[in-house]
């Protein structure tokens, strides 16, 4: 079952603005990952943040992790039309089944 | 970077027939491969995990006799949808992990299956 909850489910902003997506999960995790999916395509790995990390940057991406609240956020700064895609968080649990559990995703639209 | 391919990228088949989807890791050996399905505007749902040389582990609710998975080599896993029905129409995505790094998954581009 999907344990990740993401909000918003859909987000539409103007090019140049920042986009923030949130992800909540239920179990204790080893790491949390963010992926991007363009329509009808496979997944592109964006960033992995480990449970002992609080913040991570990669280019225009900034990911935070709050294990006490079991939540993470993905911030895309200075958005571009090419950032239009669905974004998914996925968690890897510390115990139990060794698999990625995906959130429901956020559909991001960047308007030119 | 690690590349995973899927073939075919899309397929149309008639009800009652079987269709095979291949997942290949092109530049690394994948001891573990995962198969997901995704319905329109929904998230990925894990169907099964396969380890090279052993039987696949299916998620609850996934019929193992309908979705046959074979992971015969360290670079190839196949998913066969047997006796396909229109409700099997979906986007099937595989991922592959290098040895000892199951949390590090590289995703294929997906296969769009349409059953008529």
* pLDDT tens digits, one per residue of B56-111: 999 999 999 999 999 989 999 999 999 999 999 999 999 999 877 777 889 999 99
Would you place residue A1 in the very low, low, confident or very high pLDDT band (cuts 50, 70, 90)? Answer: very low
d(CA A92, CA B49): 14
* pLDDT tens digits, one per residue of B63-72: 999 999 999 8
Q: Note the pLDDT of residue B48.
A: 95
Contact A92 B34 (CB under 8 A): no
Q: Is B96 on the interface with A (CB under 8 A)?
A: no
Q: Does A2 score more than 60 pLDDT?
A: no
Beta strands per DSSP E along chain B: 4-7, 10-13, 19-25, 30-38, 44-51, 57-58, 67-73, 76-81, 90-98, 106-107, 111-115
Q: Is A104 on the interface with B (CB under 8 A)?
A: yes
Name residues 12-51 of chain A within 8 A of B (Cβ).
30-31, 33, 35, 40-45, 48
Cα of B101 to nearest chain A Cα, Å: 10
Q: Is B62 on the interface with A (CB under 8 A)?
A: no
d(CA B102, CA B71): 15
B36: β partners: B46, B93
Cβ contacts below 8 Å, chain A against chain B, sum to: 53
List CB contacts (< 8 A) between A2 and chain B: 43, 45
């Amino acid at each position: 079952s999907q344990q990740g909850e993401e909000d918003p489910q859909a987000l539409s902003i103007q090019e140049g603005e920042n986009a923030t997506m949130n992800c909540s999960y239920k179990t204790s995790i080893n790491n949390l990952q963010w992926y991007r999916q363009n329509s009808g395509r496979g997944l592109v790995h964006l960033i992995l943040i480990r449970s002992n990390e609080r913040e991570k940057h990669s280019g225009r991406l900034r990911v935070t992790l709050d294990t006490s609240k079991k939540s993470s956020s993905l911030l895309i700064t200075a958005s571009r039309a090419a950032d239009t895609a669905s974004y998914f968080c996925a968690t890897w649990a510390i115990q139990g089944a060794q698999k990625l559990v995906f959130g429901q995703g956020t559909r991001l639209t960047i308007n030119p | 970077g690690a590349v995973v391919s899927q073939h075919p990228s899309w397929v149309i088949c008639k009800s009652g027939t079987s269709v095979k989807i291949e997942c290949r890791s092109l530049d690394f050996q994948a001891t573990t491969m995962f198969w997901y399905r995704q319905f329109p505007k929904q998230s990925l749902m894990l169907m099964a995990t396969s380890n090279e040389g052993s039987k696949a582990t299916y998620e609850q609710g996934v019929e193992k006799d309908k979705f046959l998975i074979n992971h015969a080599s360290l670079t190839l896993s196949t998913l066969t949808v047997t006796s396909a029905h229109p409700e099997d129409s979906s986007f099937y995505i595989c991922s592959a992990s290098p040895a000892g790094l199951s949390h590090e998954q590289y995703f294929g581009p997906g296969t769009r299956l349409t059953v008529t």
